[in-house]
Amino acid sequence: MVRIPILGSSFQGEDELDALKGYYSQWRKTNTAMRSPFFQLYRSFKDKGKLRDLDDGALKLYLYFGFVTGNDNGASWHSIDTIADYFGKQTRTIDNWIHSLTEAGLIYRTRDGNKSHTTFLIPYTDAIVSLQPTNKHSSDDQELLDDLVAKIQKLSAVYGQITDVFHIFHWGWDKRSKKPSEKAEQADFLLIITKREDGEEGVMIGHRHQLRHSSENGVNQLNIDEVATFTSPFQFNGQSVKGLAVSHTYRLISKDSIGTWMDLLRDSTKFTDDHMMLHPKVQYGMIKDFEYEDEEADLEEDIEADQEGGEDEDV
């Protein structure tokens, strides 16, 4: 393409492609700086077939809800009449679009005592959410888990059905040595997993609750090589909850651990009793009831002993 050189020597060889890339980049930065309202539409919307399967009207309505909803809670209160006026359609048409979005698992509508419906956007990909019990508990016992389970079951229309429950533990570490320590703050969690039937794969939700009254509990081994299993004191549906002790290096209480939690959530769908047998087993209980050996020191002693033995043989 021949360019008319009206920009002079300051043009520095920029072409349309560079200009378009820079234009888009600066447009995003401008909107971010101006804190312009926006609607997050993740690429998985296409990958999970939502973009392909929705008809044109339902897709337009989904975008409409996205643009008028609260960015923090996904809720909007626009009436059918308001939406119909915007699109220039009959209310019956809007009702059909709403039905399509509801069937696709993308929105949830409820009146809940109000004059008009509230529309909530429903997440269409897997997620980790924090879970707190309905009542206060002074100890991390079976009543706590029962409370958490009852709360989720009451909201099955939102979260789906419970598929599994895990008890997950890892040691804290000594800040100087970076080694696991029974004296450091450990991570102790209940992870209740639910599944919403949404398409072929469904949507998984990991409901995570950190045990706050279990600081005196731990496993009988400090150095966990990746994963070990234990018999949890918690029960679900008359069976012991799956107990997983993971290496202290995973740092499940850190802010940047969400990726690890998501991997754990997705792997849990394939985790069976046979997999439990593949991992070494440890005991979970009161820390004061266990004796911990400095395995690193023992290893160094073994190495020194081997070296001394080798020197004697050479002599």
136-150, 177-191, 198-212: least confidently modelled range: 198-212
* Span 202-259, pLDDT tens digits: 899 999 999 999 999 999 999 999 999 999 999 999 999 999 999 999 989 888 899 9
Q: How far apart are CA 265 and CA 193, in angstroms?
A: 8
Mean pLDDT of 155-180: 92
**Distance set, CA 12 to CA 5, 16, 19, 25 (Å):** 11, 13, 12, 19
What's the CATH number where 54 sits?
1.10.10.10
| Other Cβ atoms closer than 10 A to 48 | 20
The answer to whether residue 301 sits within a structural domain is no
Boundaries of domain holding 246: 127-294
73 shares its domain with 148: no
72 shares its domain with 135: no
Question: Mean pLDDT over all residues of the chain?
Answer: 87
pLDDT band at 299; cut points 50, 70, 90: very low
Please say if the pLDDT value at position 291 is more than 60.
Answer: yes
Measured CA angle at 61 (ends 57, 62), to 5 deg: 115
Q: How far apart are CA 39 and CA 255, in angstroms?
A: 24
Q: Is residue 61 helix, strand or coil?
A: helix
Q: How far apart are CA 142 and CA 84, in angstroms?
A: 51
- What per-residue confidence (pLDDT) applies to 141? 96
The answer to whether residue 55 sits within a structural domain is yes
CA 62 to chain centre: 24
The answer to whether residue 188 sits within a structural domain is yes
Contact (Cβ atoms closer than 8 angstroms) between residue 119 and residue 65: yes
Q: How far apart are CA 263 and CA 204, in angstroms?
A: 11
1-5, 12-16, 79-83, 300-304: least confidently modelled range: 300-304
* Span 34-70, pLDDT tens digits: 888 888 899 999 988 999 999 999 999 999 999 998 7
- What per-residue confidence (pLDDT) applies to 200? 67
The answer to whether residue 18 sits within a structural domain is no
Mean pLDDT of 179-207: 90
Please say if the pLDDT value at position 99 is more than 60.
Answer: yes
Residues recorded for the chain = 315
Counting the structural domains of the chain, the total is 2
Q: How far apart are CA 254 and CA 256, in angstroms?
A: 6
What's the half-sphere exposure (Cβ side, CA atoms, 13 Å) at 40? 12
191 shares its domain with 255: yes
87 shares its domain with 155: no
181 shares its domain with 289: yes
The answer to whether residue 256 sits within a structural domain is yes
Mean pLDDT of 61-90: 92
Please say if the pLDDT value at position 25 is more than 60.
Answer: yes
The answer to whether residue 312 sits within a structural domain is no
248-272 burial code (b ≥16 CB/10 A, e <16): bebbbeeeeeeeebbebbeebeeee
Contact (Cβ atoms closer than 8 angstroms) between residue 148 and residue 207: yes
pLDDT band at 8; cut points 50, 70, 90: low
116 shares its domain with 142: no
Which amino acid, one-letter code, is at 44? Answer: S
User: Domain boundary at 65, 93, 121, which?
Assistant: 121
284 shares its domain with 160: yes
pTM for the whole structure: 0.81
Mean pLDDT of 258-273: 88
- What per-residue confidence (pLDDT) applies to 308? 55
178 shares its domain with 254: yes
**Distance set, CA 5 to CA 9, 19, 23 (Å):** 8, 16, 21
Q: Extract the tokens encoding 155.
A: 């909201």
Q: How far apart are CA 59 and CA 66, in angstroms?
A: 11
pLDDT band at 303; cut points 50, 70, 90: very low
